[in-house]
Amino acid sequence: MRKWLLAGVVLAALAVVVVVAVRMLMPPPDDLDLARSKPSDGGTYVVSVEPEAEPVERGELHAWIVTVALPDGSAVADAELTVDGGMPQHGHGLPTAPASAGHIGDGRYRVEGVRFNMGGWWVLKFGISSPAGDDTAEFNLVL
Using CB under 5 A as the binding rule, whether residue 19 contacts Cu ion is answered as: no
Q: Which residue number has the CB closest to Cu ion?
A: 90
19, 118, 119, 134: which one binds Cu ion (CB under 5 A): 118
The CA-atom distances, in angstroms, between 95 and each of 23, 29, 90, 113 are 18, 22, 12, 10
Minimum Å gap between C-beta 69 and Cu ion is: 32
CA distance 131 to 137: 17
Using CB under 5 A as the binding rule, whether residue 94 contacts Cu ion is answered as: no
Of residues 72 through 91, those in contact with Cu ion by CB under 5 A are: 87, 90
Nearer to Cu ion, 87 or 94 (CB): 87
124 and 85 Cβ atoms separated by less than 8 Å: yes
Using CB under 5 A as the binding rule, whether residue 124 contacts Cu ion is answered as: no
CA distance 47 to 83: 13
The residues that touch Cu ion, with contacts defined as CB under 5 A, are 87, 90, 118
